[in-house]
Amino acid sequence: MLNIALPKGRLGEVVFDMFAAAGYDCPAIREPGRKLIFENESTGVRYFWVKPSDVSIYVERGAADIGVAGKDILLEYAPQVYELADLHVGKCRMCVAGFRDFYDDPDRTLRVATKFSNIARQYYAGKSRLIDIIHLNGSIELAPILGLSDVIVDIVETGTTLKENNLAVLAEILPISARLIANKASYAFACEQIETLTRRIRAIADRRNP
Ligand code: PRP
C-alpha cells in the first residue's frame, strides 16, 4: 500500500481527481461522511485527508509515502522531502501587500505581518532591508488596517481579500503551486511504484498546463 496524504479542502479534491485519472482511483473517498482514511486494495493506495499545512510533516516523518503540499509550505518549513512534480494547480502568488500609497521609509524598520516568517525574512534579507516580523496565524490583512504592521507578506489568489479591504499588491515575491512530494526512505524502497505514479500524475498535470 502506498500511503498518500492529500490536503483537505477544495485543492485536495482537485488533486484527488488527478490521482484518480492517473489510475489510482478510490471510489470510497467520494462517499459523504467524515472518514479521514480510504483505501483501494486493487490500486494499492491508501489516502488520508490532512490539514494542508501538515502534509509535509506526515511525508517527512514517513507516516505518508507521498503527498501534495503547496510550494509556500515547502519554502517556509523546508521539510526534508523530495519534490517530484509541479501539479500546476493551487496556483497563487506570495506577495507583499499594503495600502496602495504606502511609502517605505528606508530609515525606519519595516513592520511585516505574516504567516510566512521565513519567506518574508529571506525576501527582505535579499534586499538588505531591516524588518520586524509580526507572526500571525490568519486574517493577515487586518494587520496594516489596524496599524499592527506596515505591510503583510501573504498568499494572493484571486486578490478579492485585498481588494475588499482596500489593500493592494506592492510587490510579488514568487509564484506558488501544489507539488507532489515523497518521503526520502519511501522513495528509495518503493522507487518504481513512486516513479510510475509520478510519471502518470505529471502527464495529467502537464495536460492541464500545456
Ligand atoms: C488566504 C490568504 C489570504 C486569502 C487570499 O487566507 O492568507 O487571506 O487566502 O485569497 P484571495 O486572493 O483569493 O482573496 P485563508 O483563506 O487561507 O485564511 P486565513 O486568513 O486564515 O489565512
CB 70 within 8 A of CB 177: yes
Angle, vertex CA 196, rays to CA 195 and CA 202, nearest 5: 85
Is the alpha carbon torsion for 31, 6, 63, 86 positive or negative?
Answer: positive
Mutation test of ligand 1: which of 115, 157, 173, 176 has the most ligand atoms closer than 8 Å to its C-beta?
A: 157
With a 6 Å cutoff on the Cβ, whether 161 touches ligand 1 is yes
Residue 157 Cα to ligand 1 middle (Å): 8
Among the atoms of ligand 1, which is closest to the Cα of residue 164?
14
pTM: 0.94
Residue 201 Cα to ligand 1 middle (Å): 27
Residue 114 Cα to ligand 1 middle (Å): 11
Sheet order of strands, 151-156 included: 131-135, 110-114, 151-156, 92-98, 168-176
With a 6 Å cutoff on the Cβ, whether 104 touches ligand 1 is no
The CA-to-CA distance between both ends of the chain, in Å, stands at 32
Residuewise pLDDT in 10s, the chain (210 residues) = 999 999 999 999 999 999 999 999 999 998 888 899 999 999 999 999 999 999 999 999 999 999 999 999 999 999 999 999 999 999 999 999 999 999 999 999 999 999 999 999 999 999 999 999 999 999 999 999 999 999 999 999 999 999 999 999 999 999 999 999 999 999 999 999 999 999 999 999 998 776
Give residue 209's pLDDT.
Answer: 78
- β-bridge pairing 66-70 and 2-7: parallel
In sequence order, what are the beta bridge partners of 68?
180
3-state secondary structure of 208: helix
Residue 130 Cα to ligand 1 middle (Å): 26
Whole-number CA gyration radius for the chain: 19
Give residue 207's pLDDT.
Answer: 87
pLDDT tens digits for 86-126? 999 999 999 999 999 999 999 999 999 999 999 999 999 99
Instruction: Identify the residue whose cell numbers are 510519471.
Output: 199
